[in-house]
Amino acid sequence: MKNGFQRRRALISKRAYRKVYSKATPITTAIIVLLVAIIVTLSVIIAKDAIEDKRLNTETAPSTDGATSAYEQTTAPKEEFDYSVYDTVSLGASDISKGTLVLVNRQNGFAPLSDSVHINLYADKDRHYSVASSDIALDQETYEALGKLTTSFFNETGKEILQITAGFRTKEQQQKYYNDMVSSVEDEDYYELPGYSDHHTGFAFDVKLYLEDGTSLSYGKNAEEHAKWIVDNYHKYGFIMRYPGDKTEHTGIIAEGNHFRYVGIPHSVYMRENSLCLEEYVSYLKHYSVEEPLEIMTGGKVYCVYYTQKLSETTQVYVPKDKMYSVSGNNADGFIVTYSVD
């Protein structure tokens, strides 16, 4: 009974299907085929994504037997920096104002240190330059570099025409000079303020040209004609032109083409080659650390230079164990280490 009933139901269903199918138009058939194709395609894509997810999960999963997966082998950790080749030195608050890279301008005042030593230029009888007065003095390192520069100039050209007109000044001396020179508000941009003068460091000096016939000339306007060798080479002896005409927005001083400043090698070379004033250079060095120093090549040597921020009254600064180095405060917020790789 049951089987007979099932056969009659199947027969009725088949007849109904044939009846419906026989009424289907070609368009209906095409739509049905298209829908079937879309469903099959989506099923294949979903299956492939599932297989890919399973593969990635297998590759990135931690190994249970201690082995490194293929994915981990392509992302090896960065090699750690070796601090063992460095010592640390403790620098106090006063050290921020010591060194040849101290920045002195209208935002950063400077008071000469009590233990500063300045060499009187007039007392040097072997010099190849003249001095405008008997009381002009400079820092020891600056004095020695000036001697090398002018001796080389004399050996190359036979000239001794560079005259030093000003060197180290106390705050009181700068005040007198400022009062004598500034007669109006317009003059203020030409001269350094007392307590904020580069001359307080002992690293700065002014010059002019004093020719063999007794003619006195401005250095800035006449150096190209009469002292071209100095113009082309002063940076090789550690000097910069402190107030270039195109850097007034940084220095705060309108072009002063007769004011030299000693910063030392390799800094003077890098600043000259990259057209940087001292404000720009000191700021630029803040991008470099002991882990990633600035490298400067000059004179057949490679120098590393980096900055350490002053964090407290006592700052620990990394310095190389087995190399000669120097540390200079920037007179603002940190210290600059310089050493030769060679």
Classify domain 111-262 at the CATH topology level: Muramoyl-pentapeptide Carboxypeptidase; domain 2 (3.30.1380)
Beta strands 216-218 and 204-210 are antiparallel
In percent, how much of the chain has pLDDT > 90? 68
Can you give the pLDDT at residue 181? 87
Ranking 64-68, 111-115, 177-181, 230-234 by mean pLDDT, the lowest is 64-68
Ranking 22-31, 74-83, 136-145, 158-167 by mean pLDDT, the lowest is 22-31
Q: What is the mean pLDDT of residues 262-273?
A: 98
- Asked if residue 279 has pLDDT above 90, the reply is yes
- Cα Dmax for the chain: 142
The catalytically annotated residue of 72, 160, 188, 256 is 256
**pTM listed for this prediction:** 0.76
Whether 210 and 130 have beta carbons less than 8 Å apart is answered as yes
Q: Is 256 a catalytic residue?
A: yes
Q: What is the mean pLDDT of residues 282-296?
A: 98
- Asked if residue 266 has pLDDT above 90, the reply is yes
Classify domain 85-101+275-342 at the CATH topology level: Phosphorylase Kinase; domain 1 (3.30.200)
- Asked if residue 332 has pLDDT above 80, the reply is yes
CA torsion 166-169-174-176 (nearest 10°) is -80
Can you give the pLDDT at residue 186? 64
Surface-to-core class of residue 196, CB atoms within 10 Å of its CB (0-12 exposed, 13-18 middle, 19+ buried): middle
Can you give the pLDDT at residue 68? 40
Boundaries of every domain in the chain = 2-73, 85-101+275-342, 111-262
Whether 146 and 153 have beta carbons less than 8 Å apart is answered as no
What's the CA gap between 244 and 254, in Å, rounded? 8
Confidence of residue 38 (pLDDT cuts 50, 70, 90): low
Q: What is the mean pLDDT of residues 101-108?
A: 96
- Please choose, from the candidates 88, 63, 73, 47, the residue with its C-alpha nearest in 3D space to the C-alpha of residue 327: 88
Can you give the pLDDT at residue 58? 43
Can you give the pLDDT at residue 163? 98
pLDDT tens digits, residue range 19-33? 444 444 566 556 665
Residue reference for tokens 């120097």: 326
pLDDT tens digits, residue range 199-257? 999 999 999 999 999 999 999 999 999 999 999 999 999 999 999 999 999 999 988 99
Confidence of residue 49 (pLDDT cuts 50, 70, 90): low
Confidence of residue 342 (pLDDT cuts 50, 70, 90): confident
Confidence of residue 112 (pLDDT cuts 50, 70, 90): confident
